[in-house]
Amino acid sequence: MASFDLSLSVDRVDQMTDHHLFVTWRHPDGLIHPVGLLTQRVSDESQEFEFVYLKHAETLDGFPLLPGLPELHRLYVDDELFPVFRKRQMPRQRPDYAEYVENLGLDVGTDPFEVMARNEGRKMTDRIEVFAPPHRTENGNFTTLFFVRGVRHLEGASDAVAGLQPGDRLSLLDEPENSTNPRAILINTRNNKTVGWIPDYLLDTVHDLRDLTGEGDIMVTAEHVNPPEVEPYMRLICRLTAPWPEGYEPLSGPQFQPIVS
């Protein structure tokens, strides 16, 4: 099976740096599916953006192609971010921008593409989101950040989040009886209070890591905790860290392969 490296990459010839985001679509049944790959390609003098649909998008009944990107078998390239993604970026001139990026655990100088990676590109008006692939740390470990899902839907979860501090260790609990996704994984505090779920897009990766490295080698910690007045989906950012198994390529299965190379 073909695979490709989605970590930050540098072309030694023209010094272009690539930043990748997977694009997902939430099916009406609640499951989240990968449907596209968005790339920001940056050099000292310029930047461009690429978008391509993933093979999994061909298999999804009812998936509407993204606005402004109507051809499934095409590589899109532009020197400006495509409008369907640009509208997911809060304008820097808004008076609440500094507070917004602070709630994301970032500062006002952060590149807008990175801000979108952190906020997962969510809008209340559609089912599209984005997420950044995991990356390899300097000591060779696997790491990724994510928003905990479902805080608003679990009784007591909001209070449990309010009791957390950055760096607090969290535990994972399988939920095979989950009617939406039997691979679902709950996230609990040390005193066994549930704060939410691992995002759907990370589930296969977490299961893979546990099979390859052992559950005890996976560490989930609170990275950034927001107060109760912040939107529930932004309440808690977590960091997942684990050894990177030799030869393992996350997000390289058939559903993550681009239709056009």
Specify whether the CB–CB gap between 20 and 5 falls below 8 A: no
Tokens 């691992």 found at: 198
Q: Determine how β-strand 47-53 pairs with β-strand 32-42.
A: antiparallel
Specify whether the CB–CB gap between 95 and 110 falls below 8 A: no
Contacts (Cβ under 8 Å, ≥6 apart) of 120 = 129, 130, 131, 147
Model's pTM, two decimal places? 0.89
| Distance separating alpha carbons of residues 173 and 119, to the nearest angstrom | 25
208-256 per-position pLDDT tens digit? 999 999 878 999 999 999 999 999 999 999 999 999 999 999 999 898 9
Q: What are phi and psi of 133, to 5 degrees?
A: -70, 155
HSE (CB half, 13 Å, CA atoms) of 27? 17
Question: What does pLDDT average to over the chain?
Answer: 92
- Please report the domains of the chain, with CATH numbers, ordered by start residue: 9-133 (no CATH), 141-243 (3.30.70.2330)
130-156 per-position pLDDT tens digit? 999 999 999 999 999 999 999 999 999
